[in-house]
Amino acid sequence: MAGAGAKTVVQKCTPVWHPSPNFTERRNGLQPHLVVLHYTAMSSAEAALQRLCDAEAEVSAHYLIGRDGTLWQMVAEMARAWHAGAGEWRGLDDINSRSIGIELDNAGDHPFSEPQVSCLEALLGQILKRWAIPPEAVIGHSDMAPGRKIDPGPRFDWARLARQGLAAHSPIANECPEASEAAGDFQNLYEAAGYSAAASPEELLQALRLRHAPWRQGALCGADIALLRALSASGARRRT
């Protein structure tokens, strides 16, 4: 039975080619080393597909996954799709030239379906292997554009991807300093964790929590600072 189920996922995740005119060559000879996840915030996958392939809209993505697990490919992976917009990750801009964009049919206010997430897992596994992209380089739109974007939002199950080796684990913070004692270095910690895009303290905090602690509310607290310290430390280890 397990083999039959796995076969079904692979079949559902065979892309349906639906080309978009909205792409260019990647700039400066760049190749994909990031994957950016989005939600469509539209009424249906069909509506999103139409917009992503509309020349006047000037937006696109490499892939779109419907709620039923249907996978469409709109732009070749070698090309630069127009999905990320302004922003940065780890001090690098022009994320479109550095990434593969995946849109998920979801309005942001409900869970992502099992067929959709299963297809995403299969697709991510292929992309990461094909381009030698590490799990830590799978990010949300909100990570690289804090304040401007919130997708894939608080309902997205990052922990599930992490368990599959398809995204970074959220570190367990062992210390919990008082926020008033550590808030002064919040900006530096944020940048060290990868969040380098210009944004207000409130927007940065929102982006951090969307990815790693969507249940947490209120003002900056010691748990946020401890999380940032752990993220910064793990990022430093990966770079050495």
What span, in angstroms and rounded, lies between the C-alpha atoms of 162 and 111? 17
DSSP assigned state of 103: E
Rg of the Cα atoms in the chain: 18
What span, in angstroms and rounded, lies between the C-alpha atoms of 218 and 124? 33
Would you please indicate which residues are annotated as catalytic (active-site) residues? 103
Instruction: Find tokens 């005119």 and name the residue.
Output: 21
| Burial label, 72 (beta-carbon count in 10 A; 0-12, 13-18, 19+) | buried
What are the φ and ψ backbone dihedral angles of 51, each rounded to 5 degrees?
Answer: -70, -40
CB 72 within 8 A of CB 52: no
Question: How many other C-beta atoms lie within 10 A of the C-beta of residue 64?
Answer: 28
| DSSP string for residues in 176-240 | ---HHHHGGGHHHHHHHTT--S---HHHHHHHHHHHH-TT--SS--HHHHHHHHHHHHHHHHHH-
Edge-to-edge strand order for the sheet containing 34-39? Answer: 16-17, 71-73, 63-65, 99-104, 34-39, 138-140
